[in-house]
Structure 1
């Protein structure tokens, strides 16, 4: 229910951005850009604080499972979208494709992947390891994938992107790891409050991104059939990725627990990382809100469908 309320809050933020876009625009006197940047830095600082070196070391043993999950997340999923690139015919199709490609390059979720694997009675230590390491890998691979196409956008400064990536994400993660022994227990004790803070920052970034897009008229040329196409594409992408992971896990003769972990960790995408990466990668670009649309649809869908599948796996045990 908490996750569903969070999704609802995100769509409410989009609605507020539609009715009150002026407060999130670049011309607004409210320093939302600075507030969001500071929020991102704190999110990744505490991400570093909560990383467990012991769990990461212990999880290195099951290397076949880890390779399948990370390859599905950062190689197979982007390639599934990349093969459609030659068939694009106009600028609107290219924008839709780029937003779906951004979704495909993102890391896996952390909390919901672990919860779903636990519900389905899969390999929980491996899920914790892969969910944690996926976010770290995504810090480097997501910008590299997007850099192949962002350089074609005239209003995107890629050097500035990497500077923001260093200041808002990489340095905070390193700082969090450095002070882990000092405040790790405190962060664990107030984990629920920190989760609320993370979600609040995400909601604010979503509002700002969509408000800016509405204010600049980015969605003015978008039709309802475009939205339907995005919905269909994201759902097809999920099932295609899920099916490929299932076949690979069968070919590699994974046991039941490892197969569940591969399916749930490898087929999911992180809304938290996607939202903060969009802030870093796209900044104040007018299309920033558009880039988040497939991710929000994918996130809502994966919560419902994976919860259902996890429940079925759990009952079969």
Structure 2
């Protein structure tokens, strides 16, 4: 638990430092063009690695608990976006339009993979189910998120054109499929080089964040987003996270899921992926708007990590119920 929190803090600081560097030294002109192409390659590499890391065995193994997976997917891609529309209406009165659009965008993203599984494990939940649900969410999100962006944000001027759909297919979906098909060759390399791949994964996100915020700063982002709007975004993201975490736990209990399944539902259903969201935003939105669009996502991401760390520890400290005792006896 302590090691996880240390990693969270370190990466949070790197994200904040990247935003600071982009604010003080934004890339411009030919340098910005070069960074744009480097970022495109980094995004393609990122999704190639995601495809290479996803095993078919993990998908097949978790398919039996279909009620849990269906519920997580419905929360992620239906309930969460509807909640986002409600918060968008409130956000329009408090923050700039691009920030309000970012509220909707973050709700359309798939769940996280690594942290959902990690928190489920810490909380003594159903880890195999979390692996399957989080993986399925990310796999479906590659196709569903762009479609949902068109459906939910088309009226705000951020719809996705046919050319952008082709870009998504070539830059996100194709590398992912190629990565997955490469598993006979790359699976062992991916398994042995986890540290290097994690560095590429996080480094790609930092590169996209720097490029996005550079473009936004050049267009006057911080002159358009005063401090009180950042505080308003913090409050909105916190309220949205609290709402969805309470709702996922309430629904899981009303549907009589076991405690272990409830934990997987709470952590997989309430979280949104920064790793998928930042690259997707770079493809789906104009460069000058991406910084503002992903700002709510970055705030939400930090809040969800901190909140989930505390909740996972609370789950972990609970007394085991009879079903858990029986499962432990069978496992031994």
Partner of 2:171: 168
In 1, Cα distance between equivalents of 2:233 and 2:138 = 25
Partner of 1:19: 24
Q: Which of 191, 197, 200 is the matching residue for 2:200?
A: 197
User: Which stretch of structure 1 is more off in the superposition, 157-166 or 226-235?
Assistant: 157-166
Q: Structure 1 residue 48: deviation in Å? A: 1.0
Point out 4+ residue stretches in structure 1 off by more than 4 angstroms: 84-93, 149-157
In 2, Cα distance between equivalents of 1:273 and 1:42 = 12
Partner of 1:35: 38
Q: Structure 1 residue 73: deviation in Å? A: 1.0
Q: Is the 8 A contact 2:123 2:315 kept in 1?
A: yes
Partner of 2:313: 311
In 2, Cα distance between equivalents of 1:302 and 1:197 = 23
Partner of 1:46: 49
Structure 2, unpaired ranges of 5+: 1-5, 321-332
Q: Is the 8 A contact 1:151 1:158 kept in 2?
A: no
- Measured at CA, do residues 249 and 20 of structure 1 come closer, stay the same or move farther in structure 2, by a change above 3 Å? same
CA RMSD of aligned residues (A): 1.9
Matched, 1:9 2:9: no
Partner of 2:297: 295
In the TM superposition, what are the counterparts of 1:202-221 in structure 2 within 5 Å? 202-221=205-224
2:31 partner SS: coil
Q: Structure 1 residue 66: deviation in Å? A: 0.6
Partner of 1:224: 227
Aligned residues: 314
Q: Structure 1 residue 160: deviation in Å? A: 2.5
Structure 1, unpaired ranges of 5+: none
Q: Is the 8 A contact 1:269 1:299 kept in 2?
A: yes
2:125 partner SS: coil
| TM-score normalised by L of structure 1 | 0.93
In 2, Cα distance between equivalents of 1:299 and 1:106 = 12
In 2, Cα distance between equivalents of 1:90 and 1:231 = 15
Matched, 1:122 2:125: yes
In the TM superposition, what are the counterparts of 1:104-115 in structure 2 within 5 Å? 104-115=107-118
Q: Structure 1 residue 295: deviation in Å? A: 0.9
- Measured at CA, do residues 154 and 100 of structure 1 come closer, stay the same or move farther in structure 2, by a change above 3 Å? closer
Q: Is the 8 A contact 2:149 2:159 kept in 1?
A: no
In 2, Cα distance between equivalents of 1:87 and 1:315 = 37
In 2, Cα distance between equivalents of 1:312 and 1:171 = 41
Partner of 2:281: 278
Q: Is the 8 A contact 2:68 2:265 kept in 1?
A: yes
Q: Is the 8 A contact 1:32 1:208 kept in 2?
A: yes
Q: Is the 8 A contact 2:146 2:160 kept in 1?
A: no
Partner of 2:101: 98
Q: Is the 8 A contact 1:219 1:290 kept in 2?
A: no
- Measured at CA, do residues 265 and 119 of structure 1 come closer, stay the same or move farther in structure 2, by a change above 3 Å? same
Partner of 1:134: 137
Q: Structure 1 residue 95: deviation in Å? A: 2.6
